Amino acid sequence: MALLQISEPGMSTAPHEHRLAAGIDLGTTNSLVAAVRSGEASTLADEKGEHLLPSVVRYLPDGRVVVGSEAKAVEVTDLNNTISSAKRLLGRGIDDIKTLAGRLPYEFADSDSQVPKIHTVAGDISAIEVSAEILKTLKARAENTLGGDLKGVVITVPAYFDDAQRQATKDAARLADLTVYRLLNEPTAAAVAYGLDQDEDFDEKIIAVYDLGGGTFDISILRLNRGVFEVLATGGDSALGGDDFDHIIAEWILQQQGEHASNDPQKLREVLVEARRVKEALSLSDTVNVSINDWSDTFTAEQFAELAEPLVKKTLFACRRALRDADIDKDEVMDVVMVGGSTRMPIIRERVGEFFARPPLVDIDPDKVVAVGAAIQADLLAGNKPDTEMLLLDVIPLSLGLETYGGLVEKVIARNTTIPITRAQEFTTFKDSQNAMTIHVLQGERETVEENRSLAKFTLRDIPPMVAGAARIKVTFQVDADGLLNVTAEEETTGAKSSIEVKPSYGLSDTEIETMITDSMVNAKADMEARKLREQQVEADRTIEALDSAMQSDADTLLSDDERNVLLKAREALVLAKESANTDSIKDAIKAMETAAEFYVARRMDGNIRTAMAGQNIDKFKE
């Protein structure tokens, strides 16, 4: 009799079969692909020996698409058809790009869709399609180098990418015909690459990963313990990166030329290209000559440091917040890993070293470290190292919850919860005979609906008619290893079920991610007061609803006119108290209402007992 071997998805079914897998760093400025060969993870080069693939895509009239250095070489001369920094647009909506549009030299097409598209000779192109072309090029490079078809890949994303941005990344991979084993947070990938968990001198260590790429900034605090990578907290800014440092130099250049801004996209692209060259040159020299057409000047590292200080402070503020979220002091951090090409800037290394009071680790090329870590993880998920013990535990950046009656938010999964995670909570109906419930999924840290971000809505139907509060609605939130959310609602007595996979078509705006957490801290006291008020108003509604329902049912038979008037006056007082928006007044009015209705409640209970006992033989209830 033959035995069938059962294996995990992606795992090799043949004991000695090596499955080809790769790690991909899909970057704002440059992208890379890496793989494990002969036990060593390394980035893969193209036929010219270049490891970095510029994240630039050019669309030609004949339908051809050019990716990488060849496209980058003409980004100034073929402005409208050459797209760079597409990662900044992934998962963003039409409204979100308005804050970026003036800094992006593209012509955005009019569209009914929430997904912004750039007008080119090849048609209107989305950031997802641009990213797919980059992924196709990296896939071809890997398969040519490794000599076979890729079975799967791990693609890295900034830790602060929200659901929309992560989903857009997976959509781009699907367009590129890639099987994604997992989306891996870039800081976690860097920790894997450095092998910091292999330090035998420590059973446990805390590290910080400072990741400043071309378009995004992440700071992650990780605990490493015997192969377990646990992200304690994460923070950053999905719209802050090396591009912003280019822009401050570009603005300086324009000011020196007597311009405070340029409405000419061609001029803006030329200035940005020169600004990037100057920034990179300052990593090797204290003074650099700047030249645009017939104009030239010198630019110093000291000038750059002064201009860049506000941006550097933003990253350090995020570091401070992440440490607070992780409940970690700076002196507990044993290593600081630098990731991203922008960390080559001397001012960044200097200020980060000062902040953590220790020199940061820069041994591995900061451009390659993320791809190398992704390759190691891809090799494990492909089943090529079944005996290796490594567990990656990432966290969600913002709390997830749902709307309850009165516009309040009930958090189901708190931010910085380790993923993957499944968490359920029971809710109930507010009105008698309620047969449906709208589930409104929200993301954020505030106490009321209007202060948080709406992710999705769906309706649970076929709830059996019951009195208010009797139904049991179990709502389950499931966040997978990629940080994507699935929400299910089920009425437990009948099994009626409804669910939704949260795939928003647009992402958070530039400032939302950064400000949502800060706002929750700044407004914590006011939010709690607002929540108490809303809760009392909801309780008032519930009390009024219960009285109205009861009086409609049996007031004519159980109440005299005087008693009815007493209850109606108490009801009117409660309505006025609710409208006063004073928490204590509402609470007092509810108590007064309950006191006034005590005799009525007692009569109804007696009546219900008599109805239930009618026709029954009392002897059968005796022991």
Whether 482 is catalytic is no
Beta-bridged to residue 391, according to DSSP, are 228
The catalytic position among 75, 162, 163, 186 is 186
Place of tokens 């602060």: 160
DSSP 203: S
Is residue 592 classed as helix, strand or coil in its secondary structure?
Answer: helix
Catalytic residue list contains 243: no
- 280 by Cβ neighbours in 10 Å (0-12 / 13-18 / 19+) ranks as middle
What is the token pair recorded at 530? Answer: 């607002």
Strands 180-185 and 400-404 turn out to be: unpaired
Q: Which of 46, 75, 211, 403 is catalytic?
A: 211
Is the preceding omega at residue 420 within 30 degrees of 0, hence cis? yes
Contacts 24+ apart (CB under 8 A), 388-391: 388/227, 389/226, 389/227, 390/192, 390/197, 390/227, 390/228, 390/229, 391/227, 391/228, 391/229
Q: Is position 211 annotated as part of the catalytic site? A: yes
For residues 31 and 39, give the distance between their C-alpha atoms in angstroms, rounded to a whole number: 23
Sign of CA dihedral 580, 582, 588, 591: positive
Could you confirm whether 539 is annotated as catalytic? no
Mark residue 52 as left, alpha or beta (left: phi above 0; alpha: psi -120 to 50; beta: remaining).
Answer: beta
Please check whether residue 369 is in contact with residue 21, taking contact to mean a CB–CB distance below 8 angstroms: no
d(CA 280, CA 453) in angstroms, rounded, equals 38
Beta bridge mates, 425: 475
Q: Which amino acids are annotated catalytic?
A: 25, 87, 186, 211
